[in-house]
Amino acid sequence: MSLKKTFWLVLTMLSVNLVLFSQPQLPQKAPAKVIMKLDTLIVNKSTSIIIEKPYFPLMEEKSREFVTSEIDKLTSPQISEFIELCYKYEEISSQYYQHWSCEVVFQSQEIVSLLLRNNLYTGGAHPNTQIYNLNLNVKELKHLEKEKFYPKTDITKLASYCEKYLKDNSIPYFSEKSLADEKNFSIWSYTDAGTLFSFPQYEIAPYSSGIIQIFISNQELELLK
């Protein structure tokens, strides 16, 4: 082999090596903070219940078990009631369904805020969706205290704020009824930026308005005291 060919061969090998070793390492995909899993509970040959549950792979085992346990406590009464209804009206239960979904509203190393929806049909003109909240301290394994994380507000001012929101966004609601009732604000979700209030169907508005959600920042909540 001539000196010239040898030179170009060595140069080519060096170039290949340089390319191979200079390739940047691709970043590893970060583990997901939450994975949604579906459980199916068979009621009878024509009816089943679907339950969506969050799985937190980065969370300590005891914290994960706490979250799952609290979800089970919350959903069990409604599931039992649905199963009883299916057995009672087995001949038409094929029309019935119960689908649970779960939304992670907020998640940090210490706090997880969940909003669960029970999409339910047991006959009638249309299905219904029930909503439930869980605000959990997954480090201390306890529920968040409403008074600590959702600042004490004047219920009249809070109701006025929400009523203005409904009017400004042209959302039909029961204007003849006062919103200034603590039970109207019982479904709340903690975030570090403020509080999300969720209102079930029929609570403050007709079915056609659906589930209404109003987010109020911490700064705005301070003004409603």
| pLDDT digits (tens), the chain, 225 positions | 554 444 444 444 444 443 333 344 444 444 568 999 999 999 998 899 999 999 999 999 999 999 999 999 999 999 999 999 999 999 999 999 999 999 999 999 999 999 999 999 998 888 999 999 999 999 999 999 877 666 678 889 999 999 999 999 999 999 877 788 889 999 999 999 999 999 999 999 998 899 999 999 999 998 888
Report yes or no on 21 lying in a domain: no
Here the CATH number for the domain that contains residue 153 is 3.90.640.20
Give the list of residues 6+ apart from residue 181 with CB closer than 8 angstroms, or none.
Answer: 155, 159
Report yes or no on 14 lying in a domain: no
Q: How many domains does the chain have?
A: 2
- Mark whether 56 and 139 lie in a shared domain: yes
- Mark whether 136 and 154 lie in a shared domain: no
The confidence score (pLDDT) of residue 178 equals: 77
Here the CATH number for the domain that contains residue 53 is 3.30.565.40
CA dist 144 → 83, 128, 138 (Å): 31, 28, 10
- Mark whether 102 and 157 lie in a shared domain: no
Q: Residue 190 belongs to what domain range?
A: 148-223
Report yes or no on 6 lying in a domain: no
Give CA–CA dist 91/74, Å, rounded.
28
Give CA–CA dist 24/207, Å, rounded.
56
The confidence score (pLDDT) of residue 100 equals: 98
- Mark whether 58 and 119 lie in a shared domain: yes
The confidence score (pLDDT) of residue 107 equals: 95
pTM of the model: 0.82
What the block records as the tokens of 40 is: 């199916």
- Mark whether 166 and 79 lie in a shared domain: no
Give the list of residues 6+ apart from residue 22 with CB closer than 8 angstroms, or none.
Answer: none
Q: What is the CA radius of gyration of the chain?
A: 27
